[in-house]
Amino acid sequence: MYQYDQFDHLIIRERIAQYRDQVRRRLADELTEAEFLPLRLQNGLYMQRHAYMLRIAVPYGLLASKQMRMFAHIARKYDRGYGHFTTRQNIQFNWVELEQTPDILSDLASVEMHAIQTSGNCIRNTTSDPYAGVAADEIIDPRPYAEVLRQWSTFHPEFIALPRKFKVAINGAVEDRAAIAIHDIGLTVVRNDAGEIGFKFMAGGGMGRTPIIGSVIREFLPWQHLLTYTEAVMRVYNQYGRRDNKYKARIKILLKAIGVEEFTRQVEEEWADLKDGPETLTVEEMQRVIDYFQPPAYKTLDDSDAALQAQAADSKAFGNWMKRNVKPHKVPGYAAVVLSLKKTGVPPGDATAEQMDFMADLADRYSFGELRVTHEQNVVLADVEQSQLFALWQEAKAHGLATPNIGLLTDMICCPGGDFCSLANAKSIPIAAAIAERFDNLDYQHDIGEIELNISGCINACGHHHVGNIGVLGVDKDGSEWYQVSIGGAQGNNAAIGKIIGPSFSALQMPEVIDRLLQVYLRDRFEGESFAECVARIGVAPFKEFVYATPIAEKGGRLVGEDEYV
């Protein structure tokens, strides 16, 4: 993985000094809160309901074991013993003190980490495929390009006060595992007919109040032009993105307002001046960065299918885990393993300091000392020998990290919601918990199969509810919390925005609502058809009809939610 050289270290050191002084001036009242706000946000520091939250960048989700151990250290020393992995492959700590944040940054810098631009109206951490470098369907490893973008966008002087936040995702595989279509810029690394590497360049995707799938503005951009072309997009957005209404300030609204063709024309016009300029990437620079992402020293092995099948036959639990949490690897004899942070009873994406230390140990012992954070809020060990899977499973299980639910109902994406976040309209974690409890039965979950249930506590959509096969959105109605349900959303190559099924529900009704949606699926599905495929085929109507057919009561028959007023 990438390692800092003296220039990276210098910039991070100077950043900490700058930020430390900003905090000092805020505490001395030399900076007003309004002046300090964008400064602390660009350092990932939010004021939440109860305390400050610090979001730390995990560039494209890739972590060394020592970095994971540093998270454990931060959780113990500065927080309450745990952290929360986010849908943008970062980690956040919910209970930090403002006065201590500069020290946290110093600790992070010792393992080549920072919190730069993890929030605020600037270019955020570039996200990518958690299986980059090992996926069997990979065309090109996207991480070197993500690293080049990280460096270019770090403190870019012209783009530090954009109309709104700006998120870039990059995918290098046949299957899109980086949700590129819902990003401000979504890149796919591709080869053209001549075998040259370039990018399919999408812009204008996003979620929030107005979910929009991004548009392709260039089918093939040769890799040398990645930075100049991105700069052209950014300059058009910085000048013409709306600034009068924060809900209409994302680039997607600009694209919609002027149209893809006109937007593309403006970008190309801007680019004409920049093309082949000094920011054009050189073969030497790209090779230098690619060299940091060379494969580890794999052994020459054969796939150990027979042995694994025997182990799976002996233990149904191991078999389930193999089926859900173990992913194919491009090198024979190896596999990628997902450590589930979705154990029932634990907020999705949360990990304790002990679990972090333990995951770091697992990485050192089983996976060349590296880990990846997924945007579904789990952790991946990407390079595990197949012959070690059983031993790894036993260890992970003992630490609550082997729930065999990856891709299943309880592998939910969920934002921190109203329990922590001051933006939220409604709580999201208790909804996730109630659903997880109701459907804890693994056999039932395996029968339901692949399904994405995404929960957001407000319209900002940190829980990606728009692209969940089932999406749940917390809304505020007259001061109480309600939940709007949509179905038919999808991420990946066939990304789609879900459709709302009807009036919203109370928290108590939500497990039953999910149950009814699943009943329709079980009733109407064809053999082998996933929930998403079933919705695509039969439409929203049968689900809607069934969910609203009879009032929803809590245990004991008392009507709850809106039904109690009927």
Query: Of the listed pieces 64-72, 323-331, 401-409, 440-448, which binds another protein according to CB under 8 A?
Result: 64-72
- Residues between 371 and 400 that touch another protein (CB under 8 A): none
Query: Of the listed pieces 43-51, 148-156, 258-266, 438-446, which binds another protein according to CB under 8 A?
Result: 148-156
φ/ψ (deg, to 5) at 559: -70, 145
Contact partners, residue 373, CB within 8 Å, separation at least 6: 58, 61, 63, 85, 89, 90, 91, 130, 379, 380
Cα–Cα distances in angstroms (integers) from residue 391 to residues 369, 386, 388, 394, in the given order: 17, 10, 5, 5
Contact partners, residue 77, CB within 8 Å, separation at least 6: 107
Give burial (CB, 10 Å; 0-12/13-18/19+) of 491.
buried
- Measured from the CB atom, the residue of 283 and 566 that comes closer to another protein is 283
Q: Does the protein bind another protein through residue 10 (CB under 8 A)?
A: yes
Among 29, 193, 278, 527, binds another protein (CB under 8 A): 278
- Report the alpha-carbon distance of residue 45 to residue 120 in Å, rounded: 9
Q: Does the protein bind another protein through residue 282 (CB under 8 A)?
A: yes
- Measured from the CB atom, the residue of 359 and 497 that comes closer to another protein is 359
Query: Of the listed pieces 88-96, 197-205, 237-245, 256-264, which binds another protein according to CB under 8 A?
Result: 237-245
- Measured from the CB atom, the residue of 152 and 220 that comes closer to another protein is 152
Q: Does the protein bind another protein through residue 243 (CB under 8 A)?
A: yes
Among 28, 110, 276, 566, binds another protein (CB under 8 A): 110
- Measured from the CB atom, the residue of 101 and 377 that comes closer to another protein is 101
Q: Does the protein bind another protein through residue 247 (CB under 8 A)?
A: no
Among 33, 97, 137, 158, binds another protein (CB under 8 A): 158
175-214 footprint of another protein as x/- string (CB under 8 A) = ----------------------------------------
- What sections of 367-428 are H helices per DSSP? 389-398
Do residues 404 and 323 make contact, with C-beta atoms less than 8 angstroms apart?
yes
- Least spacing, CB of residue 34 vs another protein, in Å: 9
Nearest to 460 by CA among 184, 206, 117, 125: 206
- Report the alpha-carbon distance of residue 315 to residue 323 in Å, rounded: 12
Cα–Cα distances in angstroms (integers) from residue 201 to residues 61, 115, 358, 380, 389, in the given order: 21, 27, 39, 27, 38
List beta partners, residue 54. Answer: 45, 93
Query: Of the listed pieces 147-155, 331-339, 421-429, 433-441, which binds another protein according to CB under 8 A?
Result: 147-155
Do residues 187 and 193 make contact, with C-beta atoms less than 8 angstroms apart?
no
Structure tokens at 177: 């595992």
- Least spacing, CB of residue 449 vs another protein, in Å: 40
Q: Does the protein bind another protein through residue 18 (CB under 8 A)?
A: yes
Q: Does the protein bind another protein through residue 369 (CB under 8 A)?
A: yes
- Measured from the CB atom, the residue of 247 and 292 that comes closer to another protein is 292
φ/ψ (deg, to 5) at 422: -80, -10
Q: Does the protein bind another protein through residue 275 (CB under 8 A)?
A: no
Query: Of the listed pieces 289-297, 376-384, 433-441, 454-462, which binds another protein according to CB under 8 A?
Result: 289-297
Cα–Cα distances in angstroms (integers) from residue 564 to residues 388, 475, 546, 559, in the given order: 54, 19, 18, 5
Q: Does the protein bind another protein through residue 107 (CB under 8 A)?
A: yes
- Measured from the CB atom, the residue of 242 and 397 that comes closer to another protein is 242
- Least spacing, CB of residue 172 vs another protein, in Å: 20
- Measured from the CB atom, the residue of 109 and 373 that comes closer to another protein is 109
Structure tokens at 91: 């980690």
Do residues 418 and 474 make contact, with C-beta atoms less than 8 angstroms apart?
yes
Structure tokens at 500: 């709302």
- Measured from the CB atom, the residue of 25 and 323 that comes closer to another protein is 25
> Count residues contacting another protein (CB under 8 A)?
54
C-alpha triplet 423, 87, 216: angle, nearest 5°: 100
List beta partners, residue 82. Answer: 352
- Report the alpha-carbon distance of residue 341 to residue 496 in Å, rounded: 26
Residues that bind another protein (CB under 8 A): 3, 5, 7, 10-11, 14-15, 17-18, 22, 30-31, 35, 38-39, 64-66, 69-70, 73, 107, 110-112, 121, 151-162, 227, 235, 238-239, 243, 273, 277-279, 282, 285, 288, 291-292, 294, 369
